[in-house]
Chain A
Amino acid sequence: VVDNDHVCGGETLYRSVPDQEGTHYLPISGGGYCVSKAAFNDRKQQPSVDRAKLRNHNPEASKRSRTALIVSFVADEVRNIEWSSTIDVVSDPNPPEDPNNDAHALIITEQPFASKGEFNRFKQALAIVANSNWEIAPPNPA
């Protein structure tokens, strides 16, 4: 029996990134692109991801728009981000804003962020974790 409610430590997660060079990703000198922390902007401070295994490991299925890009990372990489509060990835299938998405999950924290600065740090950590792990890369590599 597979428990689809629990996000396992080794699960790959997809994050959809708008295809906007210079705002959501930036070129790096060795070629390629790194993702901006702006790709993890979230009003609720709980960035959405898709669980790859529930997308049949098809990142195309996680694109939020026709031209969107996808970065990936592993659930435990997120959980291992060092902070004073526990960070987790939890299943959140079929939310109101994405009602047909069984793979939807949220990156959450046990304690809410005490300040905007703390959430900025969180997005920075996520951007580093996701850095260069493009499943669907920008169309014109630098």
Chain B
Amino acid sequence: MTDTLYARPGATTNTSEHVSSLGASSEQNPMQIRSFSGRKTQRVYVEPLAALSIRIGKLLRWPKEWDGYRVAPSRDAAEHAFSWIKSLYEELSTRGERWHTPNVTADEDGDVMFEWWNDATGVGLTIYVSEESATYLIAWGTSMTNDMEDGEATTPENRRELWTRLTS
């Protein structure tokens, strides 16, 4: 594992984690870790980028072969995914915008997925990151033809537009 993926908690930023409608988990960024006794777990606050690094890293411990529900992404895909989400986090921080913690998972091809769901508007945003690409799917209903849109999500401009559509 590289230092890039397992980033240590960084300097504090202006990016708040407290939100009202983008999921309870966004209000803080608790991680379940083992206490020193090795018997109990407790929730502790972890810096967002460090938490994301850990959660992406955990995907690498998924099965190497498809088990009916999941398969581990490649290391390159995981590192690209961390780079992508780190860019988003830093761009939001620079603009002073609120951070919302995503669901971090992977699809059947081993692409890393970041998912956000806005309860208030019913808009869902998913980013799929492979070794070489980053694409988005934004949805506001069940119609596959009228309520969804997908495309490339590689540039800062892409990220900014998608974040605006998710949060507004």
A interface residues with partner B (beta carbon < 8 Å): 18, 22-31, 34, 36-39, 41-43, 64, 81-84, 97, 116-118, 120-122, 124-125, 127-129, 142
30 A-B residue pairings within 8 Å (CB atoms): A22-B55, A23-B59, A23-B70, A23-B105, A23-B106, A24-B69, A24-B105, A25-B103, A26-B23, A26-B103, A26-B115, A26-B117, A27-B23, A29-B19, A36-B105, A36-B113, A37-B115, A38-B115, A39-B69, A41-B107, A41-B108, A43-B108, A82-B144, A82-B145, A118-B144, A120-B107, A120-B126, A120-B137, A121-B139, A128-B139
By the criterion CB–CB under 8 Å, are A120 and B150 in contact? yes
* A36 engages B69 (CB within 8 Å): no
Min Cβ gap B99→A in Å is 15
Q: Which residues of B contact A (CB under 8 A)?
A: 19-25, 55, 59, 66, 68-70, 103-109, 113, 115, 117, 119-120, 124, 126, 128, 135, 137, 139, 141-146, 148, 150
A sample of 14 more A-B contacts (CB under 8 A), given A29-B22, A125-B148, is A18-B70, A24-B105, A26-B117, A36-B113, A38-B70, A41-B107, A43-B108, A81-B142, A82-B144, A83-B143, A84-B145, A116-B109, A120-B137, A125-B139
Q: Considering the chains assembled together, what is the distance between the CA atoms of A120 and B130 in angstroms?
A: 14
Residues of chain A within 8 A of B68, CB atoms compared: 64, 97
Q: A82 near B143 (CB under 8 angstroms)? A: yes
CA distance A42 to B107 in the complex (A): 8
What is the number of contacts between chain A and chain B, taking CB atoms within 8 Å? 111
Bound-complex Cα distance A142 to B55 (A): 19
- Whether the pair A38, B106 counts as a contact (CB closer than 8 A) is yes
Which residues of chain B have C-beta atoms less than 8 A from A34's C-beta?
117
Contacts A82-B143, A124-B124; A41 near B69 (Cβ below 8 A): yes
Are the C-beta atoms of B70 and A41 separated by less than 8 Å? yes
Known contacts: A26-B103, A117-B135, A124-B137. The answer to whether A37 contacts B126 by CB under 8 A is: yes
> Once the chains are docked, how many angstroms separate the CA of A116 from the CA of B128?
11
Q: Are A29 and B20 in contact (CB under 8 A)?
A: yes
| Separation of A26 and B19 alpha carbons in the complex (Å) | 15
Contact B23 A124 (CB under 8 A): no
A36-B105, A38-B113, A124-B139 known; A142-B145 Cβ under 8 A: no
7 A-B pairs closest in CB distance:
A82-B143, A27-B24, A23-B105, A38-B105, A26-B103, A83-B144, A142-B24
CB distance from B85 to the nearest CB of A (A): 14
Partner of A81, one of B108, B115, B135, B143: B143
* Closest-CB distance, A117 to chain B (whole angstroms): 5
> Which residues of B are found within 8 Å of A24, using beta-carbon distances?
69, 105
Q: Which residue on chain B has the smallest CB distance to residue A128?
A: B142
Q: Which residue of A lies closest to B22 (CB)?
A: A29
